[in-house]
Amino acid sequence: PDGVDWLDNKNFTFTTAVSTQNIPPIASSQFLCDTIVVCAGEQVNVEMSFIAPEQNQTVNASSTAPSLSNYAETGNTSGGITAVITSQFTPLPSEVGFHTIDYSATDNGVPPLTTQVSIVVEVVPSPGAPPVITGPAEACPGDLVTLTASSDFDSYLWSNGGVDPTVQVGPGTYTVEGLLGSCALISDPFVVNALEAPDPVISGTLFNCGGAPSTLGTTEPYASYFWSTGSTDPTITVGTGSYTVTVTGANGCVGTSAPVDVLSAPDPTAAFTVSPPSPSMPGSIVQFTDASSGNGSVLVDWSWDFGDGNVGSGQVVDHGFGQPGFYTVVLTVTTAEGCTDTVALTYVVNAAEVYAPNVFSPNGDNVNDELVFTNLEFHPGSRLIVYSRWGNVVYESSSYQNNWKAADVSDGTYFYELRLRDGRVFTGHVTILR
């Protein structure tokens, strides 16, 4: 009625002999020969083994504890020559008294044989409640928090091996066993959750030309900053060098960025020469030759803008300006690092002088058949009026194209007035002689 008690030195002596008889599974456990005395609220781990005594046999085992509500198997290796059942239970205060854990193991012999054994458990009243863990439920990666077990226990054993009422721990799940008299009471699990540490990424211009400063920041905002320069601002302005930033997130966790290197390259100096020099006449071919310096870097690109809608590339380019005017020629040079410089020069193309003929012969032989003013093609929009010797207008054009053949007038001397768009006026006489 009160369980099993040892009467000797806890040893059994067996005498065995070789037998051809079918033998049931053999039970083995340190808990078989004595009653397990446990306090209410105390966690208990039990192990039971069954061995198939005959060659090539296997054994399957199971267990039940109907009166222990928290009983559960935590492991079962049935199916081999050995079946090991591990189980765990924490009796409730309402379960004070005697209980049994019942085991059954069956082999695969012919016929199959079964072994049934029981372990007796006595649950006694606990002198107190299990310990309670208090402390922060969150921790940053790499940080420790302090967990405290409730007092009034004779000794403590934490799941991480600590033996004091308090322990320093990182993120994880923890329990503590408090010994009160002969009762070892275990707490509920206490979870310290891992907070996410910030992972700052530095953004900004990591390469500049000509030693210009770079502004660095982070891709996300944070509660606080500490740069490797000592600055605590969200952004810093720096020259060349290597930089990191340590930030604090909204949850209080700290993270440090990977280092970034800010690099610099010299700006080139753009320059070019011109031949022939300014000014020139319309239609003249002008050669532009690069004279730039990379200042230690290699020049890889030369882009020209001639100011008349035309562009070019290369170190030496030829270009002709078709009309008089002032043209801003721009050269942009680029180094292998991508640094650029620009230089501009104003090139002047003077208007061509207009020369008037004094005679032409519109006789259809295609020689001197038209009234042609030399270089008039460089003065578009010129206005021509031709008068007879009596002052009558015999020809008029608001945009003369050197194409009057005098088809409707007789030979003789005529007077002309040629007005250019630049305001100059040419007058004179011309003779028509067929």
Read off the amino acid at residue 321. Answer: F
For the cut 50, the answer to whether the pLDDT of residue 12 exceeds it is no
Ramachandran area for residue 91 (φ above 0: left; ψ -120 to 50: alpha; else beta): beta
State the Cα–Cα distance between residues 194 and 295, nearest whole angstrom. 54
Mean residue pLDDT across the chain: 91
CB 327 within 8 A of CB 346: yes
Residue 16 has pLDDT above 90, yes or no: no
Answering whether pTM is above 0.85, one says no
In terms of DSSP bridges, do strands 207-209 and 260-265 run parallel, antiparallel, or are they unpaired?
parallel
Q: State the pLDDT at residue 19.
A: 53
The residue-averaged pLDDT of 203-223 equals 93
Q: Does the pLDDT value for residue 286 go beyond 80?
A: yes
- What pLDDT, on the 0 to 100 scale, is given for residue 1? 39
Two structure tokens written together for 311: 């562009």
Topology at the third CATH level for domain 272-349: Immunoglobulin-like (2.60.40)
Tell me what pLDDT residue 182 has: 83
Alpha helices in 171-279 (DSSP H): none
CATH fold of the domain at 359-432: Immunoglobulin-like (2.60.40)
Higher per-residue pLDDT: 151 or 285: 285
- Per residue in 92-115, pLDDT tens? 999 999 999 999 999 998 899 999
Q: Where are the domains of the chain?
A: 26-124, 133-194, 202-263, 272-349, 359-432
Per-residue pLDDT of 78-97, as tens digits, reads 999 999 999 999 999 999 99
Gyration radius of the chain's alpha carbons: 54
Q: Is 359-432 in the same CATH topology as 272-349?
A: yes
The pLDDT score that the predictor gives to residue 10 is 53
Q: Which two tokens stand for residue 95?
A: 């379960």
Q: Give the pLDDT confidence of 366-397 residue by residue, as tens digits.
A: 999 999 999 888 788 899 999 999 999 999 99
What are the pLDDT digits (tens) for 244-261? Answer: 999 999 999 999 999 999
Cβ atoms within 10 Å of 52's Cβ, excluding its own: 24
Is 76's pLDDT higher than 60? Answer: yes
The residues, ordered by sequence, that sit 6+ positions from 213 with a Cβ below 8 Å of its Cβ are 237, 238, 239
pLDDT at 323: 85
CATH number of 26-124: 2.60.40.10
